[in-house]
């Protein structure tokens, strides 16, 4: 894959940045804290907790959610150590956190905003998380927060009008079975490779914690609130083309390298890979579900996650106009959003075999 994909989050600390607009994702990470603590307590061997303990976040973006995730892990490891040994972890354990993302990630903002008073050393690890980025057996617990749904590339044929795999939508809606299979096949290849390289880097018995979104079995992407908003984005870009603000050809060649798999598909891929045992596949329940159904919040949140991707293809001004229309569509079609089928927020706990 390319070293620097178009879907890098908007960096910096401005009003459109990932940092400013990812509060609902942070709330979900906080909601998962107890389940993360339970998983580490139950599945991490005390023998792995030595004087140096390495935590790695793959797809860290520019913060601040990565800090919540790694602190949850460190708190859980310290709690387990103190409970089972009776000793103070501050006296006996040094933590190192390895922050990984693509080379165009805004590591400057990440390190400028490191939490004061943190009890860990930190290092940046630029590179694709689909590839090896760390030495063998070099970390004890890894985490991926909302990065497990990416593919390394758009499946072949998806943007070719003459192909039976031509996808008229910007995303995999789930309604075209040939398109869905093409996305699933690419996702399966990429995810198995990701699991292979993490298994090489992780110490024996170490854990990978995956937090993210997926579809409940049998639910199509465009039947969920997230999928519906992504449909709004595609419709808004088409509206701008009709108004002559952008070119229709650009709209026709804009597709996402994202696949929100069904719960059963994720389980199937991990089990077929064989490098990890699934110790838990938890449904994270949050008061706002995946995100609050407020038109403005929806537009702001999706701009944070997809804005850079859209800007790379259309330019920043078109991206901003598109999300203005997304907010209007969300307000006008709120009943459609309210009647959607729920997605699923998960915590998957994997132990290296």
What pLDDT digit, counting tens, does each position of 196-244 carry? 999 999 999 999 999 999 999 999 999 999 999 999 999 999 999 999 9
Of 29-43, 261-275, 325-339, the one with minimum mean pLDDT is 29-43
Q: What is the pLDDT of residue 17?
A: 46
Check whether 301 has a pLDDT greater than 80.
yes
Q: What is the pLDDT of residue 245?
A: 94
Query: Which is nearest to 184 in space by CA: 209, 160, 214, 208?
Result: 214
Check whether 1 has a pLDDT greater than 90.
no
Q: What is the pLDDT of residue 191?
A: 98
Q: Distance (Å, rounded) from C-alpha 223 to C-alpha 221? A: 5
Check whether 16 has a pLDDT greater than 90.
no
Classify 54 as helix, strand or coil. strand
Check whether 2 has a pLDDT greater than 60.
no
Average pLDDT on 167-186 reads: 94
Residues in contact with 110: Cβ distance below 8 Å, sequence separation at least 6, in sequence order: 60, 61, 62, 63, 66, 99, 124
CB atoms within 10 A of CB 55: 23
Q: Which residue has the higher pLDDT, 26 or 308?
A: 308
Residues in contact with 241: Cβ distance below 8 Å, sequence separation at least 6, in sequence order: 247, 248, 250, 251
Q: Distance (Å, rounded) from C-alpha 160 to C-alpha 158? A: 6
Listed in sequence order, the DSSP H helices in 86-224 are 89-92, 107-112, 177-201
Check whether 19 has a pLDDT greater than 50.
no
Of 13-17, 121-125, 251-255, 292-296, the one with minimum mean pLDDT is 13-17
pLDDT tens digits, 71-98: 999 999 999 999 999 999 999 999 999 9
pLDDT tens digits, 239-283: 999 999 999 999 988 998 999 999 999 999 999 999 999 999 999
Check whether 333 has a pLDDT greater than 60.
yes
Q: Strands of 94-101's sheet, edge to edge? A: 121-126, 94-101, 52-58, 139-145, 202-214, 344-352, 276-283
pTM exceeds cut of 0.95: no
Check whether 4 has a pLDDT greater than 50.
no
Find out whether 180 and 167 touch, Cβ atoms under 8 Å: no
Q: pLDDT band for 174, please (50, 70, 90 cuts).
A: very high
Query: Alpha carbon of 190 to those of 148, 178, 204, 259, 345: distances in Å?
Result: 10, 19, 22, 11, 21
């Amino acid at each position: 894959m390319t070293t620097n994909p178009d879907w890098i989050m908007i960096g910096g600390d401005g009003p459109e940045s990932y940092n400013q607009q990812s509060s609902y994702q942070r709330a979900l990470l906080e909601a998962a804290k107890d389940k993360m603590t339970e998983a580490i307590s139950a599945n991490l061997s005390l023998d792995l907790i030595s004087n140096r303990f390495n935590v790695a976040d793959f797809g860290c973006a520019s913060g601040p959610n990565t800090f919540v995730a790694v602190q949850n892990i460190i708190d859980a490891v310290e709690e387990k150590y103190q409970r089972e040994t009776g000793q103070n972890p501050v006296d006996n354990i040094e933590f190192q956190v390895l922050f990984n993302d693509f080379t165009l990630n805004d590591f400057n903002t990440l390190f400028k905003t490191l939490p004061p008073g943190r009890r860990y050393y930190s290092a940046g690890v630029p590179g694709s998380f689909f590839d090896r980025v760390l030495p063998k057996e070099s970390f004890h617990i890894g985490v991926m927060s909302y990065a497990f749904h990416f593919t390394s590339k758009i499946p072949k044929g998806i943007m070719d009008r003459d192909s039976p795999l031509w996808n008229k939508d910007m995303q995999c809606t789930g309604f075209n079975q040939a398109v869905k299979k093409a996305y699933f096949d690419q996702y399966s290849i990429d995810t198995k490779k990701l699991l292979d390289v993490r298994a090489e880097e992780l110490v024996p018995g170490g854990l990978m914690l995956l937090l993210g979104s997926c579809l409940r079995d049998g639910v199509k992407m465009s039947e969920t609130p997230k999928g519906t908003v992504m449909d709004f984005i595609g419709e808004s870009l088409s509206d701008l083309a009709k108004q002559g603000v952008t070119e229709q050809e650009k709209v026709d060649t804009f597709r996402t390298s994202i696949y929100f798999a069904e719960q059963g598909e994720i389980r199937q891929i991990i089990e077929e890979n064989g490098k990890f045992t699934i110790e838990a596949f938890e449904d994270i329940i949050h008061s706002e579900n995946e995100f609050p159904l407020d038109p403005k919040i929806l537009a702001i949140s999706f701009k944070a996650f997809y804005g850079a991707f859209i800007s790379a293809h259309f330019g920043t001004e078109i991206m901003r106009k598109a999300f203005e229309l997304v907010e209007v569509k969300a307000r006008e079609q709120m009943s459609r959003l309210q009647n959607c089928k729920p997605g699923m927020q998960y915590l998957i706990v994997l132990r290296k075999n």
